[in-house]
Every structure is written in C-alpha cells, then in structure tokens.
Amino acid sequence: MSQHNIEDDIEELAGGEFERTPVPKSRLKGWKSFIGMYAGEHAAGTEFMIGPLFLTAGVSAFDLIIGLLIGNLLAVLSWRFLTAEIAVKNRLTLYFQLEKVCGKKLVTGYNLANGILFCFLAGSMITVSATAVGIPFDMPMPKLTDTMPNGSTWVVIVILIGAVISIIAAKGYDVVTKAANWMSPVIVVAFIACGVVALSQLGVSSFSDFWNIWGEGSDPFPGQIKFTFWHVVIWSWFANGAMHIGMSDLSVFRFAKKAKAGWTTAAGMYVGHYMAWIAAALLYAVYLKSPEAQAFLSNGEAPPVAPGPLANNAIGIFGIIAVVLAGWTTANPTIYRAGLAFQAILPKLSTAKVTILAGTVATIAGLFPAFAMKLLGFVALYGFILAPFGAILVFEHFFHKKAGIVKNYAEVAKLSFNKSVFWAWAISFGLFYFISVQFDVFLSFVTLPAWLLCGVLFLVLSKYFQKR
C-alpha cells in the first residue's frame, strides 16, 4: 500500500503478530509509515467505480466538489480523534478488543458478517479488473442495471482474475504488500493522467469550464437516486465508516507512536477519495458525450460504467493496466482480511486455506456485476452494519467511568455472549434499517444516528445487566 519496508512491517503486523497482546514499544512506527499505506489503499479500484456513479446520481458541481471536501475532512477527524486515540491507548486489534467487551460467541458473528462483506467488496473489484481484461476480447460490458453475468467470456475472465488474486493473497501479507507497494504509485499517476486527458477531451480551459461539467446537476440516470450536497457529505464521511467509527483500523493504528498518526489518513482521503473520484468522474463525463452513450440515454437507459473502457479511452493501454492493477490492489488485501476474519471462526484451518475460501466467495460475487454497479449503496450498507460495533468501544472507552460500568465486562465476568452489546446493536440496527426502508431514507443518513443510539443503549443496558 505504500513505500517499502516500514509499511510492509505495519501491514504484516496488522495481519500477523500481537493478535492477543498489546504492541510492545520497540515495534511502534512513526507517522511516515502510515502515509503511503493510506494513500495506496484509498486510490484504488473502488475509485474508478465511485467517481462515475456520482455523475449517474445527477450531482451538481458545488455538491460534489465542496461536499467531498467536507465529508472527507469529517472522515479524517473520525480516524484521528476516535480510532487513533483508542488504538494508541490500548494497542489491541479490533477483534481482541471486541472479544473483551462482547465475548467470544458474539465476536464470531461479527467476524462472519465482516468476512462476507469484505468478500463482496473484493468481488466488486474483480468485476472492475474484468472490465479492463475483457477489452481485447470484445467482451460486452456489464450495464448499470445488470445483476447477472452477461456472457461466457465474462464468466471465464472473472474466474481467472479471481483465481490469480486469491492465490497471491494466500501467499501471505508479505507478497500482498510487495505487489501493492510496486503498483500504488503507478495507479496514482494513472488517475492524474486520466483526469488531465479527460479535461482536454472535454475542452476545459478554465475553472469555470471545469465547474460546468457538473454545473447545477441533472436528473439522476434511470434506476439511480438523486444525490444532493448532504448525500455527498454524509456518504463520503461514512464510505469508510467500518474503518474509522467502526474501529476496524484499531488493528493498524495500534502500531502508531502517537494518536497524531491519525492525520495521515488525509493522504488517502484527498488523493484517493477526492482527486481520484473526480478524475474518474471526468472519464465518465467524456464517455457520456460519445454517440454510444447518447444512444443509451435516448432509449431511457443508463450508459454502462465500465472502468476498463473509460480509462482505455483516455490513456490507452496504460489505462487498461492501471484499472487491472487498481482492482487488484484493493481486492488482494481485502481477500486477505476476509480470510483473517474467517480464520477467527475456523481456527483449525491454515491462513492460506481460509484465504482461498475467501477468494472463492469473492470470485463468485465478482460474477454478478450488481455489487460493483450498486457500489454506492453497498458501501453505505457495509458501514451501516459494522459501524455500530465501533460505537460500543468508543462509548465504553470515553464514558465507562461516568456511566459506572465495568470495562471489558465479558472478559471480567467470563461471558461468551454479552447481551447488552447484542441488544444495543440489534435495536439500533433494526430501528434505523426499518426507517430507511419504510420512509425511503438513504442508508448513510441513518448511520450516525444508529451509531449514537447503539453507544447509548450499550451504556444503559450494561448498567442494568451488570447490576443484576
């Protein structure tokens, strides 16, 4: 994900050591170790998909450019003042910390959900790479509305890519990080190149020309929802909700010397989730002017978002390579992490075996373009399901004394299933998921209320159950 060596260590450690003990002082890393990692991880395959999807949501220039500025800042602040803060105090992985609070049985459920969602995310990246590999074979690209595989060529290409990615991920984190270290700078350069070329193809010569690409916004494409300023802000804040307010990145920041290392996430947010999203949106803006895209629109259909052809159109073969690598650098560590989550459930299986299992699930998911084409919605769901677990750790960390509850209660009371955690999550998830479905509220809008409610309920229920 980054420059060499120092970051290799972090990632290797995040995957392979001190799983059940605090990180010792001798192994702590300075902030530089985290910058490359975050820049690499967040300028990747998902970016090629998300940028264009903003355009299909009919977003305006102000909403996109200023909304992303603010949403990404809120994400950085969440990492700095919540995740890094708690990580540096306890220096434990998310899984071990959750186990102390929730109990072993409950953490198994969390791991299963986490592993499966990781597999779906990796699957959507295999889809992204397949759109590039399919170009020389004249493969028909999946449409925005496609849910099923659209032909035998697609199936063969996805299975081959999935197999290669899974085998590399199964070789362990060393190989995964070496591959990513080498690829990240190439991908970042490709995003910049795509953006610059797209601007010239769009005839942009001034800032106002650039602004007018989105202008006042438009109606969303058929089958897509309309994004406003608040959709952009809240969605970009919680796109990594599972990592920051959901505390997944405790596993990474437990190696930081100081909580200030949390600021390094800005490298990921402003290179990847700002520059790269806008660059990818520009590629799609170019494509929308083509006769092929216009034909789709005049039929009342949304033109396909296929990152391979979009990047190929801008920078040729380099674009195709960049899309394959970008899908790869996201899918690889994601499959590896999914494997770790499954290993916590199936400890008898070797890391290589669980990683292959995760890769198989991801490849099957990759056959169905729906995961990639509905990535905005999927990422919102992912954060919404996992983030409230982070609230339990945050509220316990900051308020356990005020609330008068025992910290790490499952560990102290030798519980394998902490009811207060389960009910806090189930009630907040159930209530806000119902509100989202019943009143057609965008899922990211209810992530924060669900997170806050879960934290508060956890304190109230803990007080009640612990008294008994």
pLDDT at residue 173, as a whole number: 63
Inter-helix orientation angle 291-298/277-288, to 10°: 80
Q: Which domain holds residue 139?
A: 6-381
Please check whether residue 280 lies inside any domain of the structure: yes
Please check whether residue 461 lies inside any domain of the structure: no
> How many residues does the structure list for the chain?
468
Tens of pLDDT, residues 302-326: 899 999 999 999 999 999 999 998 8
Six-digit token pair at 127?
Answer: 């889809």
Tens of pLDDT, residues 62-72: 999 999 999 99
CATH of the domain at 292: 1.10.4160.10
pLDDT score of 175 more than 80: no
Please check whether residue 347 lies inside any domain of the structure: yes
Confidence band, pLDDT 50/70/90 cuts, at residue 183: confident
pLDDT score of 341 more than 80: yes
Confidence band, pLDDT 50/70/90 cuts, at residue 177: low
Please check whether residue 254 lies inside any domain of the structure: yes
DSSP codes, 231-275: HHHHHHHHTTTTTTTT-TTHHHHTTBSSGGGGGGHHHIIIIIIII
Please check whether residue 449 lies inside any domain of the structure: no
Please check whether residue 356 lies inside any domain of the structure: yes
Residues of 108-117 as b/e, b for ≥16 C-beta within 10 angstroms? bebbeebbbb
Confidence band, pLDDT 50/70/90 cuts, at residue 399: very high
Please check whether residue 420 lies inside any domain of the structure: no
Structural Rg of the chain based on CA atoms: 22
Q: Domain count of the chain?
A: 1
Q: Output the pTM of the full model.
A: 0.90
